[in-house]
Each structure stands twice: as C-alpha cells, then as structure tokens.
Structure 1
Amino acid sequence: MQITKEEVLAKCNSASKNTLMETLSIEVIDYGFDFLTARMPVNSKVYQPDGVLHGGATVALAESVGSFAAHIFVDTEAFFVRGIEISANHIKSVKEGFVYARATFLHKGRTTQLLDIKVTDDKDNLIAVCKLSTISLPKKN
C-alpha cells in the first residue's frame, strides 16, 4: 500500500505537536519521491536581538526537515532515526516572510543517510546551505 502525499504531510505535521517544531511554527508543506520541504515564519519568535532570523532557528528548521525526510524513507517500525551531525553556512539575512527548507538525499544508506538542505526565502534567495547526517538504528524489542 502506497502512502499519499497528503498522508505524509499530515503525519509529519501531526508529529510536530508539543515539540520544538510547533514552537517555531515549522510546517511540512511538500513531499516527493526524493525531497521534503518545510517552512517557518520569520517573526520575533525566531529573531536574534537585531531583528533578523537567528541562525539557530535556521538550523532547527533544517534539522527538522532533514530528520522528517530520513524518517519517511526508513521503516520506522523496525528502526529509529537520530541526527548525528549538522553543519550550516549562513548566506543572507531575513527580516520577514517565510523561510523554506528543502531536504534532498546525497546518500540514502541502510545505516547512515546524508541530506543536503537548502534554505530559501519568499523570493527564492538562498539563505543557508546545511548538511545533515542521520543514523538508523534497530529498535530493541
């Protein structure tokens, strides 16, 4: 049985309840066979003191979308996924609107995954480039 795009989006967004993703208003908005996209509003909840998007909030968005992508493509009945490393290069500041993070796989192994995450603004300007490594570990019964 194949899961629909709407079911994937609903599953991701319902899993965000009472988490950092809900606190930051991160919403998964698009999904395809090799990518996942989420967005986050840029407002005072995610500002650094001078009124622009905090780099830590950008990284939280990137890790959230990358981890969700790894979960979608792994058998979560048998495995759990954990992030093991994330890096970010911040390129441009944002003061308002939304930022969008699109995660795509560079490597989709049985044990480790490597994701490329591009963060853009409403005008498709590149805001940050992130890489996330995740690991899939067997659940113990």
Structure 2
Amino acid sequence: MMERQIPALANMPTELINRFAARLLPADVRSGQFVDRIGITFTELSIQRIVGEMPVEGNRTPHGRLHGGASVTLAESLGTIGCHLHAGLGRTAVGVDINATHHRAATSGIVTGIATPLHLGRSLASYQVTIVDEEQRKLCTSRITCMIQSA
C-alpha cells in the first residue's frame, strides 16, 4: 500500500504540528483542552506513524506512578488522529474500542507514544500504540479502533 502523505506536514515545526493535531481531536477532548492539560505534544504526523510525548509529572497516581488513564489518553489521542488522517476530508473517525495492557510503571521523565496502523479500511481503522519511557522500555501497548463516517 502506498502511503498517503500530507505535504504541508512534511517539514512543519512541532508547534504547528500540535496546532494541526489539536483540530483533529474529538470535540469532547478539544473543548476541554484535555490534551493540553496533561501535556501531550505531537512530534510526527502521517497516516503510517503518529508520535507524541507526555510528561509523567502531573500525570501520576497517588503512589507516584504514571496513571494508566493518562497512558490510555495518549494512546487514544495518537490513534484517533491517525484514523482522522486516514479518513480524509469530508469524513470523520469515531472511536468504538480501545484497550491497553500496562507492562511497567514510570515515575518520572517523558513518555513517548508511537501509533502505527493495523488496519486501514473504508469503514474501520485500527492503530496499535506503543508507549515507552526515555530508556525505550515498553510501558504500555494499546489498540484503538475507529469507525469512519461522513462528517
């Protein structure tokens, strides 16, 4: 399959990538500025690979570990953006399933999520998201499936 490129994103600065990505997020996430609140920044955007980072600081449980819900939020944000990019203009992606397996805890630093497609169909798209710490140790593996429909 030939990867569809978004030429305007090829050499775009991170700040502009983040502004573009924020517009692709579902309205319920965007209206509450949730992604900003937990500190997600996007560093790569294409249909084949979406990368984002998030600080552990501010996203911990009372026990000092990265909150699993924050990991799932990072995974959902990355996977949903990939599904929106795949859907194309005039269509939208709506999440219908997400799951996550937490492999290990992080207590500090920055975590990175990498979303890659599992299936890019006409009506459904699925992404796998792997979240790693700064030493590239796998913290979480998630899968998100979105239904693609007319906007």
TM-score, normalised to structure 2, is 0.82
- Residue equivalent to 1:107: 119
The structure 1 residue matched to 2:7, chosen from 2, 10, 13, is 2
CA distance in 2, matches of 1:137, 1:31: 21
Matched, 1:89 2:98: no
**Percent identity of the aligned residues?**
23
How far apart are 1:93 and its partner, in Å? 0.3
List 4+ stretches of structure 1 deviating above 2 A. 1-5, 13-18
Q: Does 1:59 pair with 2:72?
A: yes
CA distance in 2, matches of 1:56, 1:82: 19
CA distance in 2, matches of 1:46, 1:99: 11
Q: Which structure has greater strand proportion?
A: 1
- Equivalent residue of 2:64, what SS? coil
| Structure 2 runs not aligned, ≥5 long | 1-5
* Contact 1:24-1:46 at 8 Å conserved across structures: yes
Partner of 2:95: helix, strand, or coil?
strand
Report matched runs for 1:122-137 at 5 Å. Answer: 122-137=134-149
Code of the aligned partner of 2:73: A
**Bigger mean CA offset, 34-43 vs 5-14:** 5-14
RMSD between superposed Cα atoms in Å: 2.0
Corresponding position: 1:70 with 2:75: no
Kindly indicate whether the alpha-carbon contact (under 8 Å) linking 2:46 and 2:85 is maintained by their aligned counterparts in 1: no
Unmatched 5+ stretches in structure 1 = none
Give the number of aligned pairs.
137
Residue pair 2:80, 2:93 contacting (<8 A) in 1 also: yes
